[in-house]
């Protein structure tokens, strides 16, 4: 059986091997970016620039780590060699300060080495659907839509409705599909996928009783054409007349599009635009994102035995959060977090909640790396 000391030595060796490989790759990318042929290939240039940017923080932390490590060794040598009591006292104080900095850098590096989700930097498709609870569920879905809209506004993200299906005259939403664009969208919103439950007195309740209803949220990374290859022969495209209130061409001109991906059976449709072409473009955007999500879910299931994520299981039927209006309480069931600021959260103040979910996710991954 290995001693605890030898295990830590082994882990450090593995960490240093990873860091050296990261640094080698960093230098390799640096050289590639300076080559004219790379600059002439804009797709490759953007890809390498993104990878270079992602590695910069790790390389800088590693350089600082090595610098502090050298200072520790030199200071330790001074402690052993000096006989001057005043000098030794100063060296001891510096040694303690350097050791704290060294330990902090080591912890930071271990966290930075956790593999990043390559989809985190992507834009996202946000889907909100009313669940159980009738009209109250539709009203809650509308509340969630406003919550994410306000959060996006604070983040300076752009939201565009791809498909929007309202319920009756009370202002509820049966289904909304929204394209969200900006910086690191999916990495922030991906923890929102699942069933959101609300407990409150509905507008339609005359006796003041608290009801429970729900809405589901799905966050899909927006797929580029290069992410998902779709064979046009695998698509069944139906054109039909749009339904519902609208302009003069509604119910008169066939502009609505329904696309069926035959191999997977995934069906998407869009009828919000007056143009058949625009509806088709929007439907294809949704289709690509759903096919990419299916690939991600397949990968997650294949590795489920290795790691069952507490924070993000990928199962849309999981109840992830409860919004209790009478108690001004929001509870995230995945990490056992309860906050008593529902009013602020429903108004789009999601930063604290999402940051704690990110921390929990990183802690899980770190534990897995060290297992």
Q: How confident is the model at residue 200 (pLDDT cuts 50, 70, 90)?
A: very high
Collect all residues with Cβ–Cβ distance below 8 Å to 356 and sequence separation of at least 6. Answer: 332, 335, 337
In words, the CATH class of domain 4-112 is mainly alpha
pLDDT band at 303 (very low <50, low <70, confident <90, very high): very low
> Using CA atoms, how far apart are residues 271 and 241, in angstroms rounded to an integer?
8
Share of the chain above pLDDT 90, in %: 32
Q: Please tell me the distance from the alpha carbon of residue 290 to that of residue 301, in angstroms, as a whole number.
A: 16
Name 173's bridge partners. 166
Domain boundaries, the chain: 4-112, 124-222+313-370, 232-300
Strand partners, 197: 214, 322
CA separation for the pair 305, 303 (Å, rounded): 6
Average pLDDT over residues 234-253: 62
| pLDDT tier, 75 (very low <50, low <70, confident <90, very high otherwise) | confident
User: What are the tens digits of pLDDT across the range 34-74?
Assistant: 999 988 888 788 888 888 888 898 899 999 999 998 998 88
Q: Are 114 and 144 in contact (CB under 8 A)?
A: no
Condensed to tens digits (0 to 9), the pLDDT of residues 251-287 reads 455 678 888 888 888 888 887 777 788 888 888 888 8
Helix, strand or coil for residue 206?
Answer: coil
CATH of domain 232-300: 3.30.160.20
Phi/psi-derived region of residue 261, left when phi > 0, alpha when psi is between -120 and 50, beta in every other case: beta
Centroid of chain to Cα 145: 18
> Residue 252: exposed, middle, or buried by beta-carbon count in 10 A (0-12, 13-18, 19+)?
exposed
Taking the C-alpha atoms of residue 140 and residue 172, their distance in angstroms, rounded to an integer, is: 7
Spatial neighbors of 130 by CB under 8 A, at least 6 apart, are: 137, 138, 140, 141, 167, 172, 173, 174, 175, 215
**Structure confidence by residue, pLDDT tens digits, 325-360:** 999 999 999 999 999 999 999 999 999 999 999 888
CATH code: domain 124-222+313-370 is 3.30.70.1660
Residue 111 structure tokens: 């966290």
Instruction: Give alpha helix (H) positions in the chain.
Output: 4-33, 36-40, 42-81, 85-112, 134-155, 185-189, 276-302, 342-346, 351-370
Distance CA 224, CA 43 (A): 12
Contact 280, 237 (CB under 8 A): yes
The mean pLDDT of 236-261, rounded to a whole number, is 67
pLDDT band at 304 (very low <50, low <70, confident <90, very high): very low
């Amino acid at each position: 059986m290995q001693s605890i000391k030898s295990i830590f030595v082994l882990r450090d060796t593995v960490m240093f091997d990873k860091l050296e490989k990261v640094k080698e790759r960093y230098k390799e990318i640096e050289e590639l970016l300076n080559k004219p042929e790379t600059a002439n290939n804009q797709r490759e240039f953007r890809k390498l620039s993104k990878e270079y940017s992602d590695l910069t923080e790790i390389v800088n932390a590693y350089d600082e780590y090595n610098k502090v490590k050298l200072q520790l060794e030199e200071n330790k040598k001074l402690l052993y060699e000096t006989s001057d009591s005043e000098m030794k006292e100063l060296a001891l104080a510096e040694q303690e300060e350097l050791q704290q900095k060294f330990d902090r850098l080591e912890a930071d590096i271990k966290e930075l080495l956790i593999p990043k989700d390559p989809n985190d930097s992507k834009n996202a498709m946000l889907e909100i659907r009313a669940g159980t609870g009738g009209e109250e569920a539709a009203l809650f879905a509308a509340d969630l839509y406003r919550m994410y809209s306000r959060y996006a506004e604070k983040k300076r993200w752009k939201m565009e409705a791809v498909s929007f299906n309202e319920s009756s005259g009370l202002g509820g939403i049966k289904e909304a599909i929204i394209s969200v664009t900006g910086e690191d969208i999916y990495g922030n919103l991906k923890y929102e996928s699942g069933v959101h439950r609300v407990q409150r007195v509905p507008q339609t309740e005359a006796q003041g009783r608290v009801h429970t209803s729900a809405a589901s949220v799905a966050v899909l990374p927006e797929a580029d054409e290069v992410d998902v290859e779709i064979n046009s022969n695998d698509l069944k495209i139906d054109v039909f007349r749009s339904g519902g209130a609208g302009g003069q061409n509604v119910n008169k001109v066939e502009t609505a599009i329904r696309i069926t991906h035959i191999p997977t059976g995934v069906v998407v449709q869009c009828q919000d635009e007056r143009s058949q072409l625009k509806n088709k473009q929007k439907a294809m955007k949704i289709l690509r994102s759903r096919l990419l999500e299916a690939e991600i879910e397949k990968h997650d299931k294949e590795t489920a035995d290795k790691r069952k994520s507490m924070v993000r299981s990928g199962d849309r039927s999981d109840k992830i959060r409860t919004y209790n209006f009478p108690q001004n309480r929001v509870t995230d069931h995945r990490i056992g977090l309860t906050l008593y600021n529902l009013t602020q959260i429903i108004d789009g103040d999601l930063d604290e909640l999402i940051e704690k979910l990110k921390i929990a996710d990183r802690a899980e991954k770190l534990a897995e790396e060290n297992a």
